Amino acid sequence: MRSARAGRPMHHITIAGPGGYDRLHHRSVADLRAGPGQVRVAVRAIGVNFADCMVRQGLYASAKVYVGWPITPGFEVAGTIDELGEGVQGWAMGDRVVALVRFGGYATQVLCAPQYLMRPPPGWSDAEAAGFPAVFLTAWYGLHHLAHARRGEAVLIHSAAGGVGQALVQLALAAGCRVFGVVGGAHKLAAVQGFGCTAVVDKFATAWKPAARAFAPEGFAVALDANGVETLADSYGLLGPGGRLVVYGFHTMFRRGGSGRRNWPLLAWNWLRTPRFNPLALTTDNKSVLAFNLSFLFEQTAVLAEALGFLLPLCETGQVRPLPVTTFALAEAARAHQALESGATTGKLVLVA
């Protein structure tokens, strides 16, 4: 075992049980040690995702399956390797890396198997690199692995100014698609237009459905929707023959603002309102509904390798650019969650360790 440090405390954010922002506690624990086949990463930056907020509220299924309580949230970090376990090949002490973890990322150290490491895209800062994996892997999996978007097709992207939304816009444009983005606020328009989105509307200022129908009168080939109950039925209705609706979240089921705690009556009401898709109707309509959660696909390392083999060359050529980043200190994780759940942010939120 080769190590650059030992005996120092590791700081992390821990959640003892479901609740609001006050459930995120900053703690120190004993230094982690890399076992055989593992590397230890000294973390400098940590990506924040909406899934982390669902973990905190006790509503994220894979967190219950794989960890339970207490839990440290977080799926993606950037930093440097500072300990190599026995048998690790191809990596060296001090290498800059981005690491994927299935929880545990809100910490100053993580342990990781080499197959979940990647080198940061050239020229990207630690904060930009930490914000890369979750959003771009989600975008790639939905747009390419499931929907097989093709050149010239019309693509509808909801929440286009968010992290996954901006990644989807870039990948769809790189694929030669015509992209219609929907955002929730005038201040978000420029964030999407800056990536060259074919058309983008603020849903609070413009009736987005007529605008989308005018953009693609033949119907959209692909619609990517993380809103849930608010837009799923409309997204499906805007598909053309052979259209694919890709579902990867249910953000509008949750109340914005407040204490960050679960609102059971609202959740129940929105669950009842969520569209149910009849397979008989799907065949008649010639439409497909596809859905996924990457945290349940963590063991599929061949898919991860395929995704990175597709994405990293786009980063190197500049076809994919880093998302704009807003940073918070690790101890300010509650503020980051509150900002993300407000619906007012654009790009990526990142904790700095």
Q: Residues 89-106: pLDDT tens digits? A: 999 999 999 999 999 999
- With respect to residue 128, please indicate whether it lies within any of the assigned structural domains: yes
- With respect to residue 85, please indicate whether it lies within any of the assigned structural domains: yes
Query: Residue 114: what pLDDT?
Result: 97
Full domain range(s) for residue 77? 2-132+322-352
**Spatial separation of the C-alpha atoms in residues 134 and 115, rounded to whole Å:** 16
Under the banding of pLDDT at 50, 70 and 90, the label for residue 1 is low
- 166 and 283 belong to one structural domain: yes
- 230 and 347 belong to one structural domain: no
- With respect to residue 335, please indicate whether it lies within any of the assigned structural domains: yes
Q: Residues 102-148: pLDDT tens digits? A: 999 999 999 999 999 999 999 999 999 999 999 999 999 999 999 99
- With respect to residue 261, please indicate whether it lies within any of the assigned structural domains: no
**Spatial separation of the C-alpha atoms in residues 263 and 279, rounded to whole Å:** 31
User: Residue 123: how many CB atoms within 10 A of its CB?
Assistant: 11
* Count of the separate structural domains present in the chain: 2
Query: Residue 301: what pLDDT?
Result: 97
Q: Residues 273-286: pLDDT tens digits? A: 999 999 999 999 99
- With respect to residue 297, please indicate whether it lies within any of the assigned structural domains: no
- 126 and 139 belong to one structural domain: no
- 182 and 277 belong to one structural domain: yes
- 281 and 139 belong to one structural domain: yes
- 13 and 92 belong to one structural domain: yes
Under the banding of pLDDT at 50, 70 and 90, the label for residue 184 is very high
pTM (two decimals) = 0.95
The runs of H, that is alpha helices, within 194-325 are 208-215, 232-237, 264-273, 279-285, 301-317
- With respect to residue 18, please indicate whether it lies within any of the assigned structural domains: yes
Residue 134: what residue type? A
What is the residue-averaged pLDDT of the chain? 95
The CATH number of the domain holding residue 104 is: 3.90.180.10
- With respect to residue 169, please indicate whether it lies within any of the assigned structural domains: yes
- Element (DSSP H or E) covering residue 13: strand 10-14
Helix/strand/coil for 200: strand
Q: Torsions phi, psi of 320, nearest 5? A: -115, 125
**Spatial separation of the C-alpha atoms in residues 46 and 127, rounded to whole Å:** 7
Contact 160, 195 (CB under 8 A): no
- Across-strand partners of 200? 181
| Residue range 176-201: mean pLDDT, rounded | 96
Query: Residue 182: what pLDDT?
Result: 98
The CATH number of the domain holding residue 153 is: 3.40.50.720
